[in-house]
Structure 1
Amino acid sequence: MAERFAYFGISSNLIMYLTGPLGESTAAAAANVNVWIGTVSFLPLLWGFLADSFLGRFRTILISSSLYILGLGLLSFSAMIPSHCDQDQSQRVSCSSQLQVTLFFCSLYLVAIGQGGYTPCIKVFGADQFDGNDLKEAKDKSSFFNWLMFGNCISILTTRLVSTYIQENLSWSLGFGIPSVFMAALKNRRQPNLDIANYSNETGLLLAHQSSKQFRFLHRSSDSLEITSVRKYITVLRLVPIWITCLVFAIVFAQSPTFFTKQGATMDRSISSGLLVPAATLQSISSLSMVVFIPIYDRLLVPIARSLTQKPSGITMLQRIDTGIFLSILAMVVAALVETKRLQTAHDDVTILMSVWWLVPQYVIYGVSNVFTMVGLQEFFYDQVPSELRSVGMALNLSIYGTGNFVSSFMISVIDKVTNQAGQTSWFNNDLSQAHLDYFYWLLACLSFIGFASYLWFAKSYVYNRPNTF
C-alpha cells in the first residue's frame, strides 16, 4: 500500500506536470508518460530473474525499495529548482532549466528501476504463504489477490485525492515529497527468520552451496535436472499466446493517466464556488469503483459461482480475464461517445463547458474491468509458472502493461505525425477542442475487439498446469 501510494502519487498527475511546469505538448507528454510506465513494467523481467536466480525475493525487495526511495527524494528535489522565467504555462513555453529537466527524468527513471524490482517480488512474497494444493488455502490464495488489489486501491484512492490536490494547488515539490516520505516511513528493514520465497528449490540450493564447485558441477550436470528445467521453460512459453492477446487491454489501460486526465482538464470541474477538482483526481473514480466492487466480487459473486461450478475461485482465471477485457472494450466505446458529445458542445458554444461528471461512466467501467482482468492476470501468471520462477511469472504479467504502454506511445507519435501533415489538425492537438480523441478511442475499441476474439480462441484450448485447483 505504501508503494502504491508513492507510485500513483507520481504517475496519476505526471502528464499535467509535463504539460505544465516542463512545457511539453500534449502528444509528447502522453508519449513520455507511456514510455516511462512501459519501462516501469518491463524492468521486473530483469529483477525477477535476479530474484529467482541470485538475490532471493527478500533481498531484492530491500535493494529495490532503497533505490525507489532515493529516486522519490531526488524527484521532489528536482521540482524545487526555481524556474528561470514567468511565462504563462498555457503558452507551452518551458520555464524549467536544463538541470531541472535532466534531474527530473533521471529521478523518474531511478524510481522506475526501484519499482521494477519491488512490485513483482512483494506480490509473490505474499502469495507464497499459501499452499495451492490445499483446497482451503487455494480459496484463500484467490481471495489474497482480491484483497491485495483492494488494499492497493484504498492507497491509490487516497493519493489521488491528496497528492494531486497538493501538486496543483500548493506545491509540486511537496506533492512529490509526501509519497516519498510515506514510502520511506513504512519500509520494512527486518530480515524474517525464514524467507520462504528467498530462494528457489534448485537455484537456491546451488547458491547455498556455491563454495563447493564439485557439488555445483554434479548438480548442474544432472540429466533429470536438465529435463525438468526444459519442461519448466516450456510451461512458461505456453503462456505467450495469452500474453500477446492481452496487450490491447494494456493499451486501453494506458489511457487513464494520460488522455482521460487531459480530457477532464478541458471540462467544468467546479463542484462549488471556488473549489476546482484537479483533473488527475478523476482517476479516483476508477479506484473507488474497484474498492466497492472487490468485496462484492469476493464475498458475493465468487461464492455463488463456486456453488455452481465447484471451483475454489468460482470461475476460472481465464474466464475472469476475458470478462475484464470485454468491459474494457465497453469503456472505450463509452469514452468515444462522451468525447464526441464534448466536442459537439465545444463547437456549439466555446463559452459553455461540459460537466466533468460525464466522464464517470467510463471511469467506473474501466475500474470494474481492472478488478476482473488485472487481478486475474496476477493470479494466472503466479499460478501457471513453476514455483521456482514465480518472480519471473509476475514480471511477465507486468510486462504486458509495459508493452502496452510502449505500443500506445508509438501509436500516439505516429498518429500525431500523420494527422498533423498538410495543414490538418492532429488528433492530439494541444487544444483538445480542435483535436479528435474520439477517433483514437474508436480505434482502440476496434483493436480491443480483435484482441478479445483472439484471446477467446487461445483461452478455449488452454490446459491448466494444476487443474485440480481450478
Structure 2
Amino acid sequence: MEQETEKRKEGKSEENEEKWVHDASVDYKGRLPLRASTGVWKASLFILTIEFSERVCHFGLSSNLITYLTKVMHKDLNTATKNVNYWVGATTLMPLIGGFVADAYTGRYRMIIYSSLVYLKGLSMLTMSQFMPILKPCNNEICDRPRKFHEVVFFFALYCIALGTGGFKPCLESFGADQFDGDHLEERKQKMSFFNWWTFALCVAMLLGTTVVVYVQDVVGWGIACLMLTIFMVFNIIAFYVGKPFYRYRRPQGNPFIPILQVLIAATRKRNLSCPSNHALLYEVPKSEKHQGRLLSHTSRLRFLDKAAIVEGNYTEEKDNPWRLTTVTRVEETKLILNVVPVWLTSLMIGVCIAQSFTLFVKQAAAMNLEIINNFKIPPASMASVTAISSIISVPIYDKIIVPILRKVTGNERGISIFRRIGIGLTFLVLAMVVAALVETKRLKTVEHQVLTVGGTRHETMSVLWLIPQNLILGLGADSLSLIGLQEYFYDQVPDSMRSLGMALYLSVLGAGFFLSSFLIIIVDHVTGKNGRSWIAKDINSSRLDKFYWMLVVVNALNLCLFIFLAKRYTYKTVHRKASEIDGCNSDAVEIVA
C-alpha cells in the first residue's frame, strides 16, 4: 500500500515537472511558465522574424554604404572606406555593452524593445534625410558637395542604428535560445536545431539585403530603399511585441562579473590551503535552501580556484560572506569564463577568412570576366551571395538529414560535439584558402597572355565563375559549421547569467577578425614591399594574392592544430538534474552539452 502511494506521488511529481518549466524562467506575468503554452518554436518564430528584418536592414545598408558615400556625398575612397570601417566596427563592439547591460540590469526582452526603438529612430532619420528638402544632400539632383546638415543627420542616423544593433544582436539570439528548456530532452534537441535555423534565416536576409535592397538603392533610389526598410522594421517590431504572452523570460541577476571577482579573491585568500581530494567536501548550496537556477558539477580543471569553496574557520560566518567562501557553482562559472579566452583567440581566424570574401575576393572578381550570359554582367560584390546560398542549402540538409543519422551512429544529442563541428569547419577554411590560392595563381598566369582584338591587344581574363568553389567552401565551413558551433558554444558554455554577453563575445569574433585581417594586410604589405613587389599592391594584377592566400593556409592550419589541442583538454559544462537534490556529491549530475 505504501509502495503504491509512493509511486502515485512520483507519478504526480513527474507530471508536474512535464507541465511546468523549472529552468529559472518566468512568463510575462512573472509566474512559473506553462510548458504547453510558452516557449519553443511558437515563441522563437517571433524572434526569428525580427532578427530577419534587422539583418536585411543591416546587410542592405552595409554592403552598399561605400557607394553612397563616394557617389552621393562625394567622399574620396580613403575617407569613405574609413567611415564604413568605423561604422561596422561600432556595430561589432556595441553588443559587448548591450549584452552586459541586458544580463545585469534590464533583461533581454526589455533590451530588445529599447534597442528596437533606437534602431527605428535611426532608420526613420535616414529616410527623412532622403525626402525632406531641408535634410536632402542638395537642392538639385546633382551637386559637387552635399549639405553639411545632411552629413550630420546621415551619420547620426547611422550610429543610432549601430547603437540599436548593440542591443539587438547579443540579446535576440540568446533570448530565442532561452525559449527552450535545456533540462528537457525534447526541448534541448530543438534548441540545437534553433541555432541552425537562426543561421539559415540570417543567410536568407544577407541574400535579400545584398541583392534586392541594393538593386532598389542603385536603380530606384536610396530614399525608397530606406522607406521600405523602415516600414518592414515597424511591422516586425509590432509582431515581436504581439508574441509577448508566448515568451519565457530570464530575470537579470546583477553584475555578472562580481561573482567571478569574489571567486578570484576568495581563492587568493586561501592560496596556502590544500584542495581536498574529495570534492564533496567543497561548499555548495545545501539541499534545504532554494537555488534559483542550475547548479554546476565540479570539474578537475583549474584546481586553484577550488580553494574558494573550501570551508575553514566558522562556517556560519563564512557562508554569509561570498568574498571569503563561494559555492562550487560559482567556482565552475569562473572556470568557464577563463576557458572562453583561448577558444575566442583560436576563433579569430574564422573572422579573418570571412573578411576576404568582402575584400580581396571582391577585388579578384572585379578583375575577371563578369559576363555570365547574353551580355549580363554580375556585380563583383554579389559573389558574396554565393556564400549565403551555400549556407541556405547546407543548413537544412545538416539539420534534417545529417544530424539524425549522426545521433544514431554516435549516440550524441547534437550528432557531433560542439568542438568537433567547429574543428571540421576550421578544416574547410583551410581548404577554402587552398582553392583561393590555386585559382589566383591560374588567374595571374592567364593575365600574362594577350589576345588580339579589333582595337589591338588586351589581357586575357578568366570567368568570375571560377570564384564559386572558394565561396561555396567558405560558406559551408564558416557559416554552416564553425559559426553555428561558436553560437552554441558561447551560449551554452558560459554561465547562465551571462548568455547575452556570451553572444556578444561570439559577435566580437567576427569584428576582431575583420580588424585582424586589416592588420595582417598592413604587415604583409610593409614586409613584402621592401623587395619591390608587394603581395598586395594597388593593382591586383601586379599583386601576389596567391602568396597571401598560401600564408593564410599555413596560419589556418597551425590555428587548427592549436584548436584541436585545446578541444581534447576541454571539459564541457555539466549541471545537476534537480537543484533540490544537491547534497554535496555529483552522483545526480548530467552533462547537457557534448
Q: If the length of structure 2 is used for normalisation, what is the TM-score?
A: 0.68
Give the aligned length: 449
1:268 to 364, 369, 379: 369
- Could you tell me which residue of structure 2 aligns to residue 108 of structure 1? 158
Structure 2: distance between partners of 1:19 and 1:445: 34
Residue identity in the other structure for 2:366: A
- Check whether the contact 2:91–2:162 (CA below 8 A) recurs between aligned residues: yes
Alignment CA distance shift 1:410-1:197 (3 Å): farther
- Could you tell me which residue of structure 2 aligns to residue 44 of structure 1? 95
Secondary structure at the aligned position of 1:129 is classed as coil
Structure 2: distance between partners of 1:113 and 1:325: 31
- Check whether the contact 2:406–2:415 (CA below 8 A) recurs between aligned residues: yes
Structure 1: distance between partners of 2:558 and 2:76: 31
- Check whether the contact 2:535–2:545 (CA below 8 A) recurs between aligned residues: no
Stretches of structure 1 that go unaligned for 5 or more consecutive residues are 88-93, 205-217
- Check whether the contact 1:286–1:364 (CA below 8 A) recurs between aligned residues: yes
**Shift of residue 272 of structure 1?**
3.6
**Shift of residue 146 of structure 1?**
0.8
- Could you tell me which residue of structure 2 aligns to residue 207 of structure 1? none
**Shift of residue 21 of structure 1?**
5.2
Residue identity in the other structure for 1:385: V
1:13 to 57, 64, 83: 64
- Check whether the contact 1:64–1:114 (CA below 8 A) recurs between aligned residues: yes
Structure with more helix by fraction: 1
- Could you tell me which residue of structure 2 aligns to residue 433 of structure 1? 541
Q: Which digits, 9 at most, give the CA deviation of each residue in 1:334-390, with x for residues without a partner?
A: 122222323333332345432111111111111111100111100111111122111
- Could you tell me which residue of structure 1 aligns to residue 192 of structure 2? 142
Determine if the alignment matches structure 1 residue 54 to structure 2 residue 105. Answer: yes
**Shift of residue 291 of structure 1?**
0.9
- Could you tell me which residue of structure 2 aligns to residue 290 of structure 1? 391
Secondary structure at the aligned position of 2:179 is classed as coil
Stretches of structure 2 that go unaligned for 5 or more consecutive residues are 1-51, 131-135, 257-316, 451-457, 575-590
Residue identity in the other structure for 1:63: Y
Alignment CA distance shift 1:312-1:128 (3 Å): same
| Alpha-carbon RMSD | 3.3
**Shift of residue 319 of structure 1?**
0.4
**Shift of residue 414 of structure 1?**
4.2
- Could you tell me which residue of structure 2 aligns to residue 463 of structure 1? 571
Determine if the alignment matches structure 1 residue 155 to structure 2 residue 205. Answer: yes
Secondary structure at the aligned position of 1:271 is classed as strand
Alignment CA distance shift 1:403-1:293 (3 Å): same
Q: Which digits, 9 at most, give the CA deviation of each residue in 1:82-134, with x for residues without a partner?
A: 499979xxxxxx96666665555444333222112101111111111111122
Residue identity in the other structure for 2:367: T
**Shift of residue 138 of structure 1?**
1.5
Structure 1: distance between partners of 2:537 and 2:387: 23
Q: Which digits, 9 at most, give the CA deviation of each residue in 1:407-443, with x for residues without a partner?
A: 12333344455656797557151x4333333333222
- Could you tell me which residue of structure 1 aligns to residue 494 of structure 2? 385
**Shift of residue 233 of structure 1?**
3.1
Query: Bigger relative contact order, structure 1 or 2, given CA contacts below 8 A and separation 6+?
Result: 1
Percent sequence identity is 38
- Could you tell me which residue of structure 1 aligns to residue 470 of structure 2? 362
- Could you tell me which residue of structure 1 aligns to residue 381 of structure 2? 280
| 1:183-202 superposed matches below 5 A | 183-187=233-237, 188-190=240-242, 192-193=244-245, 196-200=248-252
Structure 1: distance between partners of 2:504 and 2:76: 32
Structure 1: distance between partners of 2:374 and 2:247: 55
Alignment CA distance shift 1:289-1:313 (3 Å): same
Alignment CA distance shift 1:312-1:425 (3 Å): closer
**Shift of residue 74 of structure 1?**
3.9
- Check whether the contact 1:49–1:392 (CA below 8 A) recurs between aligned residues: yes
Determine if the alignment matches structure 1 residue 376 to structure 2 residue 485. Answer: yes
**Shift of residue 268 of structure 1?**
2.3
- Could you tell me which residue of structure 2 aligns to residue 209 of structure 1? none
Alignment CA distance shift 1:433-1:18 (3 Å): farther
Secondary structure at the aligned position of 2:570 is classed as coil
Q: If the length of structure 1 is used for normalisation, what is the TM-score?
A: 0.84
| 1:66-465 superposed matches below 5 A | 66-75=117-126, 81-82=137-138, 103-187=153-237, 188-190=240-242, 192-193=244-245, 196-200=248-252, 223=322, 227=327, 228-229=329-330, 231-349=332-450, 350-369=458-477, 370-416=479-525, 427-429=536-538, 431-465=539-573
